[in-house]
Amino acid sequence: MARRLSVKSLLTKSMGASVSKIVGMRGLPALLWDGSVLDAEEGIRFRGHTIPDIQKALPKAPGGSEPLPEGLFWLLVTGEIPTAEQVKALSADWAARAALPTFVEELIDRCPSTLHPMSQFSLAVTALNHGSAFAKAYQDGVSKKEYWGPTFEDAMDLIAKLPNIAGRIYRNVYGDGKLPAINPDKDYSWNLSNLLGFGENEAFVELMRLYITIHSDHEGGNVSAHTGKLVGSALSDPFLSYAAALNGLAGPLHGLANQEVLLWITEMKAKLGENPSDEAVKDYIWSTLNGGRVVPGYGHAVLRKTDPRYTAQREFAQKHLPSDPLFKLVGQIYDIAPKILLEAGKAKNPWPNVDAHSGVLLTHYGLNQMNFYTVLFGVSRAFGVAAQLIWDRALGAPLERPKSYSSAAIKKMFANKP
């Protein structure tokens, strides 16, 4: 503890900045990431388009109202809104690429059910490196100017195979291990939902279309996105790069956040019962803060207003599950928590982020295995990371190699400065 306080004092006094800004590189302008930009007031923009923009502009499935993630990937890669025909062709392309090598299926099947789904997910994605087009092309001496081509092929294969990996893990751990086949006439989200056992529930399929779209990319500085970019800068293929990203996503401070929200809300519901009063909810929030805990799902490193991804999910819930008890409790917390957080001085941004809502939606439809939630996040985030890996190779992005300093070196550097 003494060492920790000494380093913290050194950084704040000598360099005039917080530990999070220096050691955690919080807000440090250092990365090129074309797919999305996060604005503190507006939230995420995908190639300049807000979430409401893409909800209106991107093609929908027949009879559906949510954007198809295939369209979002097209937008991230090309910068253009695709046509319905282009999205349909992309769905078919991914379906044609979806099959897993037999050894990868066996690898997943041999995992004990006690191994965390994210560990299985990362393991399977790593193993796909065996068939990497980029790794082979590099070994064969491909020109640097052509790196993007095999990277694109790997990126397409990666995204295409994720539903089969996720579905196999889910069925092995929580079901009977039997999987349906990919339907080449259906879209990506329908096939994922069907592999999980929810293909007949159109509302769940619509939720997956929305979920994947809004979780696909969130600028390049978050742990999973930056990890994928960093590892890719060493010319590791997209499978190895994204497996590394998944290991970052598995951390409690990143992809596990929605589980913490759901646990906190279910604990609140168990203690306060159905339809608690506003006063009871206020007291519970205060008890959380006074107990040295944070209110999970509230606050964000960049955002200073309600996360538009939260708003999109809230609007979905208002349409499809307005009477769900947990959704009503989430809405009650939304009305109460920000004022308390402002009063307590606990957050620069007291508004809800995306994790404040997603777990409740999944639970409503029966997907209540919380350890699996980060796998769904992992399927989604591949879209943004893969798109940027393609562009990094096309632009000839260099190897990342920032400079580091020891605390002793920093102390010496500022020793004679007032």
3-state secondary structure 36-83: EEEECCCEEEECCEEHHHHHHHCCECCCCCCECHHHHHHHHHHCCCCC
Dihedral sign, CA of 344, 346, 349, 352? negative
Could you tell me if residue 404 is left (phi over 0), alpha (psi between -120 and 50 degrees) or otherwise beta? beta
Which helix (H) or strand (E) covers residue 171, if one does?
helix 148-174
Strand order in the sheet with 36-39: 36-39, 43-46, 49-50
Q: Locate 221 and state its tokens.
A: 């500085």
Do residues 217 and 381 make contact, with C-beta atoms less than 8 angstroms apart?
yes
- Buried residues in 151-170 as b, exposed as e (16+ CB within 10 A): bbbbbbbbbbbbbbbbbbbb
Query: Which of 136, 115, 117, 114 is CA-nearest to residue 125?
Result: 117
Q: Is 359 exposed, middle or buried (0-12, 13-18, 19+ CB in 10 A)?
A: buried
Catalytically annotated residue among 355, 357, 364, 392? 355
- Burial, 195: exposed, middle or buried (Cβ in 10 Å; 0-12, 13-18, 19+)? buried
Which is the catalytic residue, given 300, 307, 357, 364?
300
Query: What are the angstrom distances between the C-alpha of 214 and each of 25, 46, 158, 365, 377?
Result: 25, 10, 19, 19, 10
Known catalytic residue: 93? no
173 close to 109: Cβ distance less than 8 angstroms: no
CA-CA distance, 246 to 240, in Å (whole number)?
A: 10
Q: Which two tokens stand for residue 219?
A: 């600028």
The count of other CB atoms within 10 Å of the CB of residue 198 is 19
The question of whether 300 is a catalytic residue gets the answer yes
Active site residue 39: no
From 53, 254, 320, 324, active-site residue: 254
Centroid of chain to Cα 193? 18
Could you list the active site residues? 254, 300, 355
